[in-house]
Chains A and B, each alone.
Chain A
Amino acid sequence: MSAKTVSGGRDVLVERRAAAERFRATQARRGTLVVQLISAPEAGKTALLEAAARYWDSSRRLEDVGNLVGPAPHDVGQHLRAVLLSVTEGDDKPDKYPKAFRSSDVLVLTKLDLLPHVPFSVEAAAADARRIRPDLEVLSVNALAGAGIAAWCAYLARRRQEILGAVPDTSREVRVFLRQGRV
């Protein structure tokens, strides 16, 4: 018998994506918004998380699920993905790491207080990122001083309403996955 060839373009991670989809649906039914934060190390993921926790005080439960280190954004079953870019990293990051920006819903520029000291153009970074992801929302924060945190929390609350819709807010919980790597 001779060899035979079978063709077809099958996504090799289709089962993993299905598992992520199940997790997403389960969390949505519970009323939990799952947010993934991705960035290069030290861009300020934890600071952003802590600032949001301070802002919400005890009105919402904010759970930090943990930190992953990996080469590219994975679907962990999140409802929203935020990519953080600190102004000290340079405004050419979107062009260098398009995957992170293409797959994110919102770009959060961090360490805005350092802007006067670095050659970073907020406009250029936002424009480059939007060529990669035209509907990307862009926010700016200085998490240590709390600047921009109200807008970040309002963004999360709005998206929670849009994504989870009429699901009763029983858990009042936002789960956050942190991920750092080549961004």
Chain B
Amino acid sequence: MSAVHELSLAQAVWEQAERVCRQHGGGRVVTLRVGVGDLSGVEPDLLRSAFDLLVETGRTGAARLELERSPLEARCESWSATFPVERFQFICPECGGPRLTVLQGEHVTLQQVTLEPAGGGT
């Protein structure tokens, strides 16, 4: 049902990996490690299936997608402590303060790209 959303996301992931590749002298993307935030609204399984569709088009070569969970983490603005957000309760577990800055877990992020430089190979 939501394949369209995940497909465009898979494309965005791939395009960003290609950009990173160009910025580092070109070559070939071997692996992409992507963090899927617990509150990103993205289902890792669907992102994986969407990426498989991209793989079928041949665009991604032999690049391998590694997905990992990116848990929610926030900082309490009252006393600057950092803590994991459990069960989506956006309240500081220590002081009960509601003013938080979410540090991670809300987005899909490209965390690491492994490249094989141009002219390389085994």
Least Cβ–Cβ distance between A177 and chain B, in angstroms: 15
With contacts A11-B107, A12-B13, A73-B41 taken as known, whether A2 is within 8 angstroms of B98 at the C-beta atoms is no
Q: Is A170 an interface residue (CB 8 A)?
A: no
The residue on A at minimum CB distance from B34 is: A12
Q: Whole-angstrom distance between the alpha carbons of A98 and B91 in the complex? A: 14
Inside 8 A of B16's CB, which chain A residues have their CB? Answer: 10, 12
Q: Is A175 an interface residue (CB 8 A)?
A: no
Q: Is B71 an interface residue (CB 8 A)?
A: no
Count class of interface residues, chain A: 20 to 34
Q: Whole-angstrom distance between the alpha carbons of A144 and B35 in the complex? A: 44
Interface hub of A2, A3, A9, A95 (most chain B Cβ within 10 A): A3
Q: Is B7 an interface residue (CB 8 A)?
A: no
Q: Is B114 an interface residue (CB 8 A)?
A: yes
Which residues, 1 to 32 on A, are CB-close (under 8 Å) to B?
1-13, 15-16
Q: Whole-angstrom distance between the alpha carbons of A12 and B65 in the complex? A: 14
Q: Is B12 an interface residue (CB 8 A)?
A: yes
Inside 8 A of B39's CB, which chain A residues have their CB? Answer: 98-99, 102
Q: Is A135 an interface residue (CB 8 A)?
A: yes
Q: Is B109 an interface residue (CB 8 A)?
A: yes
Residues of A within 8 A of B (CB): 1-13, 15-16, 70-74, 95, 98-99, 102, 131-135, 181
4 cross-chain pairs, A with B, having the tightest CB-CB distances, nearest first? A72-B41, A134-B98, A71-B2, A98-B88
